[in-house]
Amino acid sequence: MLVHGVWSAEGLAFWAETAGAVPAASRRRPTEAESVPHPFAAPADGVAAELVLDEPPSRTLELLLPGSAKEPLPSPETGRLAEVTRPRLRLWQVPAVVPPVSQALHVLAEHTGTATMRHWAAVAAFAHDLVRRGRVIPQLIPGATAPEPEPEPEPGDSMAMWAVPRAGARAGWRPVVTGADAGYFRELALAMPPACRTSRTERPSADVLREALEAFTDTLVRQALTEPLVVTPRTLHERWLAALTGDVPDCPDVPDLRRELEKWRDSVESAEGATRVCFRLLEPADTDDWRVELALQAADDPSLYVPAAHVWSGEKVAGLPGVPERELLAGLGRAVRLYPELDHALRGPRPSELALDTAGAFGFLRQAAPLLQAAGFGVQLPRWAGRTKLGLKLTTRAKAQTAATGQGFGMRELVDFRVELAVGGETISEAELAELARLKVPLVRVRGQWVELDDRQLKAALRAVAGSRTGEATASDMLRHIVGTDLWGDDELPLVAVDADGVLGELLSGQAERRLVPITTPAGLDATLRPYQERGLAWLSFLSELGLGGVLADDMGLGKTVTTLALLVHERAGTPTLLVCPMSLVGNWQREAARFAPGLRVYVHHGSGRDAALIPGADLVITTYGTAHRDLDALKQHEWRRVVCDEAQAIKNSGTLQAQAVRSIPTGTRLALTGTPVENHLAELWSIMEFANPGLLGPRSRFRTRFQEPIEARQDEQAAQALKRATGPFILRRVKTDKSIISDLPEKLEVKEWCPLTTEQATLYQAVVDDMLAKIEGSEGIERRGLVLATMAKLKQVCNHPAHLLKDGSRLSGRSGKLTRLEQLSEEILAEGEKALLFTQYAEFGSMLQPYLAQRLDTTVLWLHGGLPKKTRDRLVERFQHDDEPMLFVLSLKAAGVGLNLTAANHVIHVDRWWNPAVEDQATDRAFRIGQRKNVQVRKLICAGTLEERVDQMIERKKALAERVVGTGEDWLTDLSTDELREVFRLTAEGVG
pLDDT in tens, 189-209: 888 888 888 766 667 888 999
- Full strand arrangement of the beta sheet holding 577-581: 602-604, 620-624, 577-581, 642-646, 669-673, 550-552, 731-732
Residue 821 has pLDDT above 60, yes or no: yes
**Chain centroid offset of residue 227 CA:** 37
pLDDT at 568: 94
**Cα separation, 963 vs 959, whole angstroms:** 8
Model-level pTM? 0.54
Residue with the bigger pLDDT between 424 and 319: it is: 319
596 sits in which H/E element: helix 586-596
Instruction: Tell me the average pLDDT across 600-625.
Output: 91
**924: pLDDT confidence band, cut at 50, 70 and 90?**
confident
Instruction: Tell me the average pLDDT across 266-278.
Output: 69
**19: pLDDT confidence band, cut at 50, 70 and 90?**
low
Q: List Cβ neighbours of 629 (8 Å cut-off, separation of 6 or more).
A: 657, 658, 661
Instruction: Tell me the average pLDDT across 761-780.
Output: 82
Question: Which residue ranges form the domains of the chain, and what is each CATH number?
Answer: 2-150+165-265 (no CATH), 270-380 (no CATH), 397-512 (no CATH), 519-704 (3.40.50.10810), 751-991 (3.40.50.300)
- Nearest CA to 604 out of 991, 985, 970 is that of 991
**Cα separation, 38 vs 40, whole angstroms:** 6
Q: How many CB atoms lie within 10 A of CB 978?
A: 14
pLDDT in tens, 486-532: 443 455 666 666 777 766 666 665 555 555 677 889 999 998 888 88
**Cα separation, 136 vs 583, whole angstroms:** 49
pLDDT in tens, 238-262: 888 888 888 888 888 888 888 888 8
Weakest-pLDDT range from 618-632, 731-745, 792-806, 860-874? 731-745
Residue 744 has pLDDT above 80, yes or no: no
pLDDT in tens, 454-493: 666 677 777 666 655 777 776 667 776 665 544 434 556 6
pLDDT at 162: 39
Residue with the bigger pLDDT between 599 and 488: it is: 599
**CA angle centred on 54, ends 49 and 57, rounded to 5°:** 95
Do the beta carbons of residue 603 and residue 622 sit within 8 Å?
A: yes
pLDDT at 409: 44
Instruction: Tell me the average pLDDT across 628-640.
Output: 92
Do the beta carbons of residue 362 and residue 442 sit within 8 Å?
A: yes
Burial 236-250 (b: 16+ CB within 10 A, else e): bebbbbbbbbeeebe
Mapped onto helix, strand or coil, the DSSP state of residue 752 is strand
Residue 387 has pLDDT above 80, yes or no: no
pLDDT in tens, 321-366: 667 888 888 888 888 888 899 988 888 888 999 999 888 888 888 7
pLDDT at 246: 83
pLDDT at 263: 80
pLDDT at 218: 93
Instruction: Tell me the average pLDDT across 815-831.
Output: 90
Whole-Å CA distances, 906 to 32, 718, 753, 859: 45, 37, 17, 17
pLDDT at 638: 92
**Cα separation, 273 vs 149, whole angstroms:** 43
Do the beta carbons of residue 941 and residue 822 sit within 8 Å?
A: yes
Instruction: Tell me the average pLDDT across 572-600.
Output: 88
**964: pLDDT confidence band, cut at 50, 70 and 90?**
very low
The percentage of the chain sitting over the pLDDT mark of 70, rounded to a whole number, equals 77
**Cα separation, 328 vs 336, whole angstroms:** 12
825 sits in which H/E element: helix 817-831
**737: pLDDT confidence band, cut at 50, 70 and 90?**
low
**870: pLDDT confidence band, cut at 50, 70 and 90?**
confident
**Cα separation, 709 vs 730, whole angstroms:** 22
Residue with the bigger pLDDT between 722 and 331: it is: 331
Cα first-last separation, the chain = 29
pLDDT at 489: 42
Q: How many CB atoms lie within 10 A of CB 49?
A: 13
**Cα separation, 542 vs 984, whole angstroms:** 46
Dihedral in degrees, nearest 10, Cα atoms 216, 217, 220, 226: -140
DSSP code at position 288: S
**Cα separation, 382 vs 365, whole angstroms:** 10
Strand pairing category for 550-552 and 731-732 = parallel
Residue 68 has pLDDT above 80, yes or no: no
User: What are the backbone angles phi and psi of residue 971, rounded to the nearest 5°?
Assistant: -65, -25
**98: pLDDT confidence band, cut at 50, 70 and 90?**
very high
Residue 279 has pLDDT above 90, yes or no: yes
Strand pairing category for 168-175 and 88-97 = unpaired
Do the beta carbons of residue 282 and residue 292 sit within 8 Å?
A: yes
- Nearest CA to 135 out of 165, 105, 72, 179 is that of 179
Weakest-pLDDT range from 217-221, 836-840, 926-930? 926-930
396 sits in which H/E element: strand 390-398
Q: Helices marked H in 133-179 — which ranges?
A: none
Residue 405 has pLDDT above 60, yes or no: no
pLDDT in tens, 28-54: 455 555 678 888 889 999 898 888 888
Which own/partner pairs from 685-688 qualify as long-range (CB within 8 Å, at least 24 positions apart)?
685/727, 686/654, 687/651, 687/652, 687/653, 687/654, 687/659, 688/551, 688/648, 688/649, 688/651, 688/652
Mean pLDDT of the chain: 79
Do the beta carbons of residue 828 and residue 556 sit within 8 Å?
A: yes
Weakest-pLDDT range from 175-179, 677-681, 822-826? 677-681
**CA angle centred on 821, ends 819 and 826, rounded to 5°:** 95
pLDDT in tens, 527-536: 888 888 888 8
Residue with the bigger pLDDT between 875 and 666: it is: 666
**Cα separation, 173 vs 120, whole angstroms:** 19
Residue type, 456: R
Q: How many CB atoms lie within 10 A of CB 489?
A: 10
Mapped onto helix, strand or coil, the DSSP state of residue 691 is helix
Residue with the bigger pLDDT between 628 and 413: it is: 628
Residue 237 has pLDDT above 70, yes or no: yes
**CA angle centred on 199, ends 196 and 201, rounded to 5°:** 125
- Nearest CA to 835 out of 752, 757, 926 is that of 926
pLDDT at 366: 79
**Cα separation, 726 vs 695, whole angstroms:** 12
**Cα separation, 966 vs 516, whole angstroms:** 49
pLDDT at 156: 46
- Nearest CA to 108 out of 119, 92, 94 is that of 119
Whole-Å CA distances, 596 to 390, 523, 944: 53, 11, 18
Do the beta carbons of residue 7 and residue 196 sit within 8 Å?
A: yes
